[in-house]
Structure 1
Amino acid sequence: MPIIHVQMMEGRPVEKIEEVIQNITNTVSETLHAPKENVRVLVTEIPKTHWGIGGVPKSKQ
């Protein structure tokens, strides 16, 4: 059972997260010849205060 964990910065619309889940599921299913119902996609949204770029939190950029 493939498990894919996606981490992204918070703030995207629910519809976009659902689209990512669907697209990843389809790609992994086709690539690995695994049934879609066996593919798991976990999305973790990270607060901008906890996402650093170049030593600075994204919330301060």
Structure 2
Amino acid sequence: MPTFHVELFEGRTLEQKRKFVEAITKATCDSLGVEPNSVEIILTDVKRENWATGGKLWSDA
């Protein structure tokens, strides 16, 4: 059972998330030959103030 943990900045719409998980599921099924109901995707919304790159918070960008 493939399981994906995806962290992304908060603010995506429900429709964007739906399209994303559909695309990931399709790509996984096509490449690994698994059934859609075996693909698990966990989305975690992260505030920009809780994510940093290069020593800078994204909320400060």
What TM-score, normalized by structure 1, do the two folds share? 0.91
CA shift digits 1:13-55 (9 cap, x unpaired): 1111111111000000111100001111111111110011221
For structure 1, which runs of at least 5 residues remain unmatched after alignment? none
CA RMSD of aligned residues (A): 0.9
Give the percent of matched residue pairs that are identical in Structure 1 and Structure 2: 28
Q: Are residue 23 (structure 1) and residue 13 (structure 2) matched? A: no
Structure 2 gap ranges (5+): none
Normalising by structure 2, report the TM-score.
Answer: 0.91
Runs of 4+ in structure 1 over 3 Å off:
none
